[in-house]
């Protein structure tokens, strides 16, 4: 306990430990981002076989989890050793290549590790050595994973969004980020706002404009940050999404019919609201002249 108090009272030590923790969590998030969508598809396949009463030909030993099988090179199946799995550093030591077959390793892995560490440090720096900061890290890590998974697959797993929603409601029983009443109506308002947009768009066009995971993610953000943050989150995510979408259409000739994930923009807006919520709300009210 004495050592913990010294760390808490020494800002640079606290931020250094947070950075190291963020790097390790970022390495784990790389596994979650890669494997969780595959595990979901594996479960869907198994459920379909069970519903149709068809024997699943996939052997039980080949079932994918977050811990098994061990990480390997996708090309040569070289098993990743402990020293090759040090966040960021291993990538630099290996010069971005597999030690077995020299196949280039995607730079996305160290980028996600570094971004997770940077976001973690920023969260602790802004919120201070508090319980809100400790729980805020869980929100940050979940949003990083959700943003990349949705970008890759257009999926927002319930196994992340729903526990995140409940954790926000529980945290705010002690008003860590918002009052319990604000958190409750934030969850309700977050879900119903995008749910209404979804059904309005579908009734007008006959098409689905977004996935149900977006409703749940905004509900989770409302549960964490309160109903007062919803307008800022929706405005920021819509603005960034519109700018990126237009840029992709103009510069990459992406068709208007190609679906775009909305989760990454919601996640980015949620992070900004976590870090700078009062300042953003004040700026918005000043803009409106309120």
pLDDT digits (tens, 9 = 90+) for 219-277: 999 999 999 999 999 999 988 888 777 777 776 666 566 678 999 999 999 999 999 98
93 and 23, same structural domain? yes
Same domain, 3 and 94: yes
pTM exceeds cut of 0.95: no
Query: What mean pLDDT do residues 47-58 have?
Result: 79
Residue 121 sits in the same domain as residue 21: yes
- Whether 146 and 223 map to the same domain: the answer is yes
pLDDT digits (tens, 9 = 90+) for 70-86: 888 888 888 888 888 99
Considering 85, 102, 128, which residue would you say is the last residue of a domain? 128
The predicted pLDDT at position 50 comes to 84
Q: Is the pLDDT of residue 61 over 60?
A: no
Q: Do 157 and 117 belong together in one domain?
A: no
Do 110 and 163 lie in a common domain?
Answer: no
State the Cα–Cα distance between residues 88 and 276, nearest whole angstrom: 28
Residue 287's pLDDT is 78
Number of domains in the chain: 2
Sign of CA dihedral 205, 210, 215, 218: negative
Q: Are residues 119 and 144 part of one domain?
A: no
If asked whether residues 101 and 142 sit together in one domain, one would say no
Domain range holding 181?
A: 130-290
The percentage of the chain sitting over the pLDDT mark of 70, rounded to a whole number, equals 90
- The token duo for 211 is 């996935």
For residues 187 and 270, membership in a common domain is answered with: yes
3-class SS string, 53-90? CCCCCCCHHHCCCCCCCCCECCCCCCECCHHHHCCCHH
- CA neighbours within 13 Å on the CB side: how many for 143? 29
List of residues 6+ apart from 260 with CB closer than 8 A: 241, 244, 245, 248
Same domain, 75 and 138: no
Whether residue 255 is found in the same domain as residue 287: yes
């Amino acid at each position: 306990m004495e050592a913990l108090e010294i760390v808490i009272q020494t800002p640079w030590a606290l931020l250094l430990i947070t950075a190291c923790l963020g790097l390790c969590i970022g390495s784990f998030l790389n596994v979650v981002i890669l494997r969780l969508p595959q595990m979901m598809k594996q479960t869907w396949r198994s459920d379909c076989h069970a519903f149709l009463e068809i024997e699943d030909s996939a052997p039980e030993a080949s079932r994918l989890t977050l811990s098994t099988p061990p990480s390997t090179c996708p090309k040569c199946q070289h098993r990743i050793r402990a020293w090759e799995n040090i966040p960021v550093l291993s990538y630099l030591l290996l010069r971005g290549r597999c030690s077995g077959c020299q196949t280039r390793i995607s730079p996305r892995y160290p980028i996600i590790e570094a971004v997770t560490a940077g976001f973690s440090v920023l969260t602790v720096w802004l919120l201070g050595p508090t319980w809100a900061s400790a729980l805020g890290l869980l929100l940050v890590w979940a949003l990083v994973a959700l943003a990349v998974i949705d970008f890759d697959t257009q999926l927002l797993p319930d196994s992340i969004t729903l526990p995140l929603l409940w954790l926000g409601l529980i945290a705010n029983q002690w008003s860590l980020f918002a009052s319990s009443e604000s958190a409750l109506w934030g969850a309700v308002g977050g879900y119903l706002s995008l749910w209404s947009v979804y059904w309005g768009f579908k009734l007008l066009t006959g098409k689905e404009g977004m996935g149900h995971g977006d409703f749940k993610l905004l509900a989770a953000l409302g549960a964490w940050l309160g109903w007062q943050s919803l307008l800022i989150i929706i405005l920021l995510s819509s603005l960034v999404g519109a700018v990126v979408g237009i840029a992709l259409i103009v510069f990459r000739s992406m068709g208007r019919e190609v679906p775009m994930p909305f989760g990454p923009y919601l996640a980015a807006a949620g992070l900004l609201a976590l870090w700078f919520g009062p300042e953003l709300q004040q700026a918005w009210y000043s803009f409106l002249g309120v």
